[in-house]
């Protein structure tokens, strides 16, 4: 079960802080962690998690999605928007507005 979010307007560095916390956890644990963390990156990641759970219910017919485990949570750099800031003596500095590509993979827990 997979969900992808492309070109989200927040830097990958900030998104990875939150993604690293919930990787390897179950869906139920990840939901509670994302609701308690005081970071702005939790909002799109929680939405992406719900999308992956919905995909698991609809496409794979999984009855108990809270037991699924987050096996892969990747945050890669997306498109970089380049802007300029006027500076003294007619020069300009470049401002990089970074975006993130986020992919989330859920799998059933392995029984040993």
Extended strands (E) in the chain: 2-8, 69-77, 81-86, 92-97, 100-107
End-to-end CA distance of the chain: 21
Inside any domain, residue 82:
yes
Inside any domain, residue 112:
no
Residue 73 buriedness (CB in 10 A; 0-12 / 13-18 / 19+): buried
Q: Domain count for the chain, please give it.
A: 1
Tell me the whole-structure pTM to 2 decimals.
0.88
pLDDT for position 111: 77
pLDDT confidence band for 106 (50 / 70 / 90) = very high
pLDDT for position 112: 64
Count other Cβ atoms within 10 Å, centred on residue 105.
Answer: 16
Q: How far apart are CA 92 and CA 7, in angstroms?
A: 26
Inside any domain, residue 46:
yes
Query: What are the tens digits of pLDDT across the range 29-54?
Result: 999 999 999 999 999 999 999 999 99
Q: Which domain holds residue 83?
A: 2-107
Q: How far apart are CA 32 and CA 16, in angstroms?
A: 18
CA-closest candidate to residue 76, choices 25, 16, 9 = 16
* Domain harbouring 77, CATH code: 3.90.470.10
- Taking residues 12-24, report their average pLDDT: 95
For the packed helices 42-59 and 12-22, what is the interaxial angle rounded to 10 degrees?
Answer: 50
The length of the chain is: 112
Inside any domain, residue 103:
yes
């Amino acid at each position: 079960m997979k969900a992808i979010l492309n070109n989200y307007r927040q830097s990958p560095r900030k998104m990875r802080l939150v993604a690293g916390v919930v990787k390897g956890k179950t869906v139920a644990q990840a939901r509670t962690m994302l609701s308690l963390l005081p970071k702005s990156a939790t909002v799109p990641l929680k939405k992406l998690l719900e999308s992956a759970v919905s995909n698991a219910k609809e496409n794979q017919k999984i009855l108990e999605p809270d037991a699924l485990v987050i096996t892969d949570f990747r945050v890669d750099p997306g498109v970089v928007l380049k802007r300029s800031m006027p500076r003294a003596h007619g020069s300009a500095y470049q401002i990089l507005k970074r975006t993130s590509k986020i992919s989330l993979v859920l799998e059933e827990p392995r029984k040993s």
